[in-house]
Structure 1
Amino acid sequence: MMTSRAQSGANWVQGSCWPPALWWGWMNCSSSRMETYKVTVTTGDMVHSGTFDRVFITLVGSEDRSERTVLSTEGQDLSSGMVMELAVSAPDLLGDLLFVRLDKEQCFFLPDDDWFCSKVEVTTPSGETVLFPCYRWVSDKWAVELREGKAKKVFEDQHPILIQQRTGELELCHNLYRWAVFREGLPKMVGIDDPALLPHDARFSFTKAMDLLVRSKTALDELKLRSLADRKKPWTKWEDIKRIFWFNKTMVSGYVQKHWEEDWFLGYQCLNGCNPVVVQRCCQLPPNFPVPSCLVNPFLEAGSTLEKELLKGNIYLCDYKVLDGITPNLINNRLQYMVAPLCLLYKKTSDQLVPIAIQHTAIGGIGLIEILERAVQSLTYSSLCLPEDISARGVESVPNYYYRDDGLCLWNSINRFVKGMVKVYYPDDNAVVKDTELQSWIKEIFTEGFQERPESEIPQSFTSLEEVTKFVNMVVFTVSAQHAAVNSGLFDFSSWMPNSPSSLQWPPPITKGSTTMSDILKALPDINTTVRLMATTWLLSKQPSDFVALGQYPWEHFIEDAPCRLILELQEDLAALSQKIKERNAQLELPYTYLLPELIENSIAL
């Protein structure tokens, strides 16, 4: 979360990043006296973390450096989870330990075998133990330099070696991660054609890569759908759809299959389904949706009218204008159809939200890239901040909106944590302004990510603790809770395909009351398209094998008392929220579980 180089623990280097005069001139290697430092090195416990290559360690202090000491020789395995203790000799006392350098040489008869180091602990001759978090890969090309776990901002580095090392690491990162234009108007991408050229840390872990590969290969088998994957024929019987669904349903998808035709359940999905961020209070009908009162008044409370309900605040709108004009695909050599609906919803006295009017707009002539461009152009900072988004959509009081209720609780818990963390490392606004790395970070996000669009509201600089807290809060919430809210329920709401078909083979009806169940069946995707949708949503919704829940920090990046205490407070906060959600869910016919803290991954995993 923090931008401090020290906080991240490890820095990549390609060779030495200091001029020879600095590297050698300040060292005093003439003394014949030898001092011994006790070093404990921990190899990560992930698959393939170990190595058979030769690994070396060097301790660098403010007064001197140690000998380059071998951790393992050729053919001696630094195996996964292994803890190695060794003595490292130095010509004299090193002074304050500045960092630890790890590098590796390939075994001459084996391919390059990267090594994952979790941490290094050094006990000085005086008995002081210093922790150097790593959690990085060490390769022949990318040596690693580890600072002590205590964070330092750029203006707090005083020693010339630390200043030069920090500058060199930034220059190396700038050379590695160059920006490239994917398409004008869209956020820029990393300018690299082959991910294998990136440092190992920037790639999928072996565990995650294999997990994704195996799951993608076995999805159809696990869902018992392999035999249907190549059938390009349309569905002819509802019973056939029910038959493939029966083997793969969850508690929620079974509920969806039972209630998908009911009006109130469409309203429920607008609030708590896979896209709960579109619904908004409607105080005035949009010009492109001129709904005659006479058509909807029969669906309102007796004696009421559309105009009265608009004034009361009981009318809501879902506008999917971002889909207007999309060119649909050809699937199985048949043109598909897509609509950009406007849906008017009414809050009944029973607190149910039900549709009272739906308008399907015409399809047109643009594609996926244009959807992305529209989304980027409409994206604002406030829409990414849940409290502001809820207020802007006017849905503060709509009942049974569990995404909002749980989301705001999570937002507040994350905010308390982030506020405390920021205060630990930035005691006042002046510290924020002085941190040139922090300022460069937010400037680059504005420039390269949001294309310098002032209307995006993304800050170009930080001037206060409050501004930093808000932005980091937004980032943490977006990549954890928000992702869980829109991703975790994909299989639940889409596996009963008629509830959420991925495409339509017939255009939408233009006459009310003219559509039969047979017409709906003809419009649904073909058999192979259906089963691939089920496999895809199953894959996206399945919890990965290396899942880490929100608020959990298995890697010891934070070593100071204050941040460790804040982590414990966050975990207690999330545990209390989890209990509160479970107590509410116990009273619900359909529990809302997607924002249970223990089911939220700490960051987007795909």
Structure 2
Amino acid sequence: MPTYKVFVSTGRHKIAEKTNSIYLTLMDSENKSSERTLVNKTFDALEREISFNIRVKKDLGDIVQVKLEKEKHFVNFQRFCKHIKVKAPSGKCFEFPCHRWIEDEKEVIIREGTARLPHDEPELLKKQRQEELKSRQKIFRWKDWGPDFPMSIDGKMIKLPGEVQFDAKKSSDFKLNFVKVIEESFLDKIKGFINSWKDMRDFENILEDFNIENTLLETVMQDWSKDYMFGYQFLNGCNPVMITKCVNLPKNFPVTHEMVKGFLKTGVTLQEELKAGNIYIADYKILDGVPTSSSQRYLAAPICLLYKDRLDQIVPIAIQLSQNPGEKSPIFVPSDNEYDWMLAKMWVKSADFSVHQLVTHLLRTHLISEVFEMAMYRQLSAVHPVYKLLKPHVRFTIAINAAARENLFNEGGVLSKISSLNRAGMEKVMQSAMKTLTYESLCFPEAIKARGMEDVPMYYYRDDGMKIWETINCFVSAVVKIYYDSNEAVQNDTEIQEFVKDVSFGMNNSDKFQKSLKTREDLSEYLTVVIFTSSAQHAAVNFGQFEWHGWIPNSPSTMRKPPPEQKGQVDIKYIMESLPDRGCSSLVLGTVWALSQFQKNELFLGTYPDMCFTEQPVKEAIKTFRKKLDEVTNIIKSRNEGLTMKYCYLSPDKIPNSVAI
């Protein structure tokens, strides 16, 4: 009798239970199959790969599908299948990447690993492919999380589809970092302490449990009040996207040459420096009129003018704390009273904290990555090459966002406790931000150009980001050319066109996102946006939070006194009473620490242990991708050796594949 040799590779397991049996069936292209075969009952945590023989009455030829079934059991123990390989009597081998949990009474059909476009399928498999997507669309349902927000999955964290839930290791890390650190360790220490700190040195108390010696945070603590450090953060801090070249001053920001002439190069006017491209601006008008969480929490919408000085440093030269100029909204400059200037900069950084958390971080990485993931599951078959390409870059994104909606950004959640924003305020900011969220704004080179930031020196976020963007685009283009031999192939790919439409729908912003793709270049750029946003952009704006927000005076999450309406009335006591209190400061520190942690078994950019592709050309493209990423890593390391403040957030060896924290 013809015999097929079957190898089943298992992986991570929640529990081992020998009484839960798995059945396997081999299927050929005509839907003929072998007998339902019981897989060895030692399919558990102790086995990484098991093998067995399946004898058939008649040679089935090429095996195109494998069906797995798990018997019903009193207790639902899930099993994880990583990979299946089948060796036919002819000696030909067939690979079946799986990487999913097998649950009771749920039949799982695993396709042979060769990636296929929809129009390349045999008729029988086309129908099955359509049924697969119909089934997924019932599981992955769109839901409005908030008015005009990007749409999210319909489901709470504990009820998410099994394939997008945290695995046991990730779940453990998440609970350790957030529940233990935020809810237990930090809050227990400051229970009952809602008073102001006495002086700046007191903020060091909540950093006692951290080893910050010789770290960037230590440098921030030492120099946070200096203008160079304030300006540097607009380029290379955790919100490096607010600064824009200023050609013409806004009408509501009446800065004159007389106000700032002492901070410009001798003999040069403000107008000349504007024309020369040496003036920059950060405008927080998005916060204007936003309601606050309480009468003791204040929020401002400042405008900050910055200047490229003789040392090529970006430094602040004028700050207005509202969008409405006048007697009660003075323009602060560096020559003002020490504490006036210090407090003005704090107000800018406090506004920056809110915009960073809600717009730069939450909206522009987390939420839009979830839209990409949802559309992928809903519109791309598991054998589609783009599904295989994107899957590592959406790992855990739906799950982390579900957790964030339930714990961080809900009414009464962590953000409302540490910032000035309540749910109504968050909604207003998000709605304003959605008006400027366009596909073009997610294309890194175009976003840099739109802000006029192509030439500013020491902008490492831009320099490293461009290298990563180009490396990802080169890799994606190579993969696209393997599967699409022409622009017509892209246009005729029904699944990719529906994927793009679904993304547009999920963005709740359809007129600013494509509804179709015409060329291979269009597709390559689109997929580069997906991968860059979920990996590099998220890394750039997330993993520096502890270093930049950990010293509370450098980045106050809220302010407890209103912005000053006159100069010369601020002292250190007023500043201490304005900064977050002890309880809020401790919760901020715990939160940004937890958000800045890598997972212990983190998968960094280009690392794909769950290999979805089986074709050699793609495997070669992945090798080339990794090689180029290693080259970028070495370039960044070499550059950093000459820097006092090293910029590492966009070093490929520190960029996780996906938004997972």
Q: TM-score, normalised by structure 1?
A: 0.89
Is the Cα contact below 8 Å between 1:142 and 1:199 reproduced in 2?
no
Partner of 1:301 in structure 2?
265
SS at match of 1:340: coil
Aligned counterparts of 1:584 and 1:317: Cα–Cα separation in 2:
27
The yes-or-no answer on 1:227 pairing with 2:193 is no
Amino acid at match of 2:299: M
Query: Which of 35, 42, 57 pairs up with 1:67?
Result: 35
> 1:198, 1:58 → 2: CA distance?
28
1:237 counterpart (199, 219, 241): 199
Alpha-carbon distance between aligned partners in 1 of 2:130 and 2:218, rounded to the nearest angstrom: 57
Contact 2:73 2:104 in 1 (8 A): no
What is the DSSP-based 3-state SS (H/G/I as helix, E as strand, rest coil) of the residue aligned with 1:371? helix
Equivalent pairs counted in the alignment come to 561
The percent identity for this pair of structures is 37
Deviation at 1:222, TM superposition (A): 9.8
Is 1:431 aligned with 2:489? yes
Query: Which ranges in structure 1 are unaligned for 5 or more consecutive residues?
Result: 1-33
The partner residue of 1:357 within 318, 323, 326 is 318
* Counterpart mapping for 1:123-272 below 5 A: 123-160=87-124, 162-192=125-155, 194-219=156-181, 226-248=188-210, 250=212, 251-272=215-236
Alpha-carbon distance change, 373 to 51 in structure 1, aligned in 2, over 3 angstroms: farther
| RMSD, aligned α-carbons | 2.0
Q: 2:246·2:274 contact (CA, 8 Å) conserved in 1?
A: yes
The structure with the larger Rg is: 1
* Change in 2 beyond 3 A, CA 1:195/1:241: closer
Conserved? CA contact 2:6–2:52, under 8 Å = yes
- More helix by percentage: 2
The 1:51/1:468 distance shift into structure 2, 3 A limit, reads: farther
Tell me what 2:244 maps to: 280
Q: Is residue 86 from structure 1 mapped to residue 47 from structure 2 by the alignment?
A: no
Structure 1, 355-364 or 147-156: larger mean CA deviation: 355-364
The corresponding residue for 1:106 is 72
Which secondary structure does the structure 2 equivalent of 1:57 belong to?
A: strand
Corresponding position of 1:30: none
- Alpha-carbon distance change, 513 to 307 in structure 1, aligned in 2, over 3 angstroms: farther
Q: Partner of 1:8 in structure 2? A: none
> How much has 1:316 moved relative to structure 2?
0.2
Equivalent pair of 1:36/1:87 in contact (CA under 8 Å):
yes
Cα distance in 2, alignment partners of residues 395 and 119 from structure 1 = 46
Of 501, 504, 508, the match for 1:443: 501
Distance 1:141 1:229, change over 3 A: farther
Post-superposition shift, 1:223? 7.1
Distance 1:560 1:517, change over 3 A: same
Q: How big is each residue's C-alpha offset from its partner over 1:303-325, in whole Å with a ceiling of 9 and x where there is no partner?
A: 11111110111000011121222
Closer, same or farther: CA 77–412 of 1 in aligned 2, 3 Å: closer
1:278 Cα offset (Å): 1.0
Change (3 A) 1:62 1:241: closer
Report the Cα distance in structure 1 between the residues aligned to 2:257 and 2:211, rounded to whole angstroms: 41
Q: Kindly report structure 1 stretches of 4+ aligned residues shifted beyond 6 Å.
A: 221-225, 362-365
CA contact under 8 A between 1:419 and 1:469: conserved in structure 2?
yes
**Comparing 212-221 with 137-146, which one deviates more in the overlay?**
212-221
| Residue number among 512, 520, 524 corresponding to 1:469 in the alignment | 524
Deviations 1:242-269 (A, max 9, x none): 2333442530110000011001111100
Q: What do the CA deviations read for 1:257-284 (whole angstroms, capped 9, x no partner)?
A: 0011001111100000010011010000
Q: State the 1:221 CA deviation.
A: 9.4
| Structure 2 counterpart of 1:336, one-letter code | R
Q: Does 1:289 align with 2:253?
A: yes
Describe the shift of the 1:354–1:514 C-alpha distance in structure 2 as closer, same or farther (beyond 3 A): farther
TM-fit CA distance, 1:77 = 4.9
Higher relative contact order (CA 8 A, sep 6+): 2
Q: CA deviation at 1:225?
A: 6.8
- Post-superposition offset of 1:180: 2.3
Does 2:489 correspond to 1:528?
no
Q: Corresponding residue for 1:339?
A: 300
How big is the shift at 1:395? 0.8
The answer to whether the Cα contact below 8 Å between 1:99 and 1:148 also exists between their aligned partners in 2 is yes
Shift of residue 46, structure 1, vs aligned partner: 5.1
Residue identity opposite 2:541 in structure 1: V
SS in 1 for 2:39: strand
Paired residue for 1:45?
12
Distance 1:394 1:553 in 2: 36
Match of 2:309 among 322, 340, 348: 348
| d(CA) in 2 for partners of 1:429, 1:362 | 48
Alignment check: 8 A CA contact 2:461 2:650 kept:
yes
Q: Is the 8 A contact 1:45 1:81 kept in 2?
A: no
Matches of 1:195 and 1:345, distance apart in 2: 43
Find out whether 1:412 has 2:470 as its counterpart.
yes
Residue 588 of structure 1 is matched in structure 2 by 643
User: Any conservation in 1 of the 2:186–2:590 contact (CA below 8 Å)?
Assistant: no
> 1:238: Cα distance to partner?
2.6
8 Å CA contact retained: 1:44, 1:80: no
- The aligned residue for residue 460 of structure 1 is 515
Contact 1:53–1:72 (Cα < 8 Å) also in 2: no
Structure 1 window deviating more from structure 2 (511-520 vs 595-604): it is: 511-520
On the 8 A contact 1:50/1:80 being kept in 2, the answer is no
Give the SS at the match of 1:116: strand
Partner letter of residue 499 of structure 2?
W
| Residue identity matched to 2:439 | Y
- Cα offset for 1:181? 2.6
Q: By how many angstroms is 1:81 displaced?
A: 4.9
Q: How many Å separate the matches in 2 of 1:264 and 1:50? A: 61
TM-fit CA distance, 1:145: 1.1
The answer to whether the 8 Å contact 2:302/2:323 transfers is no
Tell me which residue corresponds to 2:331: none
Rounded to whole Å, the distance in 1 between the matches of 2:19 and 2:262 is 77
Structure 2 residue 155 is matched with structure 1 residue 97:
no
Q: Is the 8 A contact 1:43 1:82 kept in 2?
A: yes
**Distance (Å, rounded) in 1 between the aligned partners of 2:193 and 2:110:** 56
Conserved? CA contact 1:223–1:247, under 8 Å: no
Cα displacement string for residues 196-229 of structure 1 (whole angstroms, at most 9, x for unaligned residues): 4443112222221121112223325997774124
Letter in 2 for 1:105: E
Deviation for aligned residue 1:513: 4.5
Amino acid in structure 2 at the alignment position of 1:173 = R
Aligned to 2:570: 515
* Pair 1:283–1:352, CA change in 2 (3 A): same
Higher mean alpha-carbon deviation, 198-207 vs 397-406, is at 198-207
Counterpart CA distance in 1 for 2:588 and 2:531 is 29
Between 237-246 and 128-137, the greater mean CA deviation after superposition: 237-246
d(CA) in 1 for partners of 2:562, 2:9:
61
The whole-number CA distance in structure 1 between the counterparts of 2:193 and 2:233 is 31
Q: Distance in 2 between matches of 1:370 and 1:380?
A: 18
Which residue of 2 is the match for residue 385 of structure 1? 443
SS, match of residue 643 in structure 2: coil
Gaps in structure 2 of 5+ consecutive residues? 325-420
1:567 equivalent in structure 2: 622
CA contact (8 A) 1:224 1:247 kept: no
Whichever residue aligns with residue 454 of structure 2, its letter is E
Q: Which residues in structure 2 correspond to 1:479-558 (within 5 Å)? A: 479-558=534-613
Tell me how far apart the structure 2 counterparts of residues 325 and 509 of structure 1 sit (CA, whole Å).
17
- The Cα offsets for residues 378-405 of structure 1, whole Å up to 9 and x where unpaired, read as 1111111110011111011101100000
Aligned partners of 2:638, 2:63: CA distance in 1, in Å? Answer: 51
Q: Distance in 2 between matches of 1:516 and 1:264?
A: 22
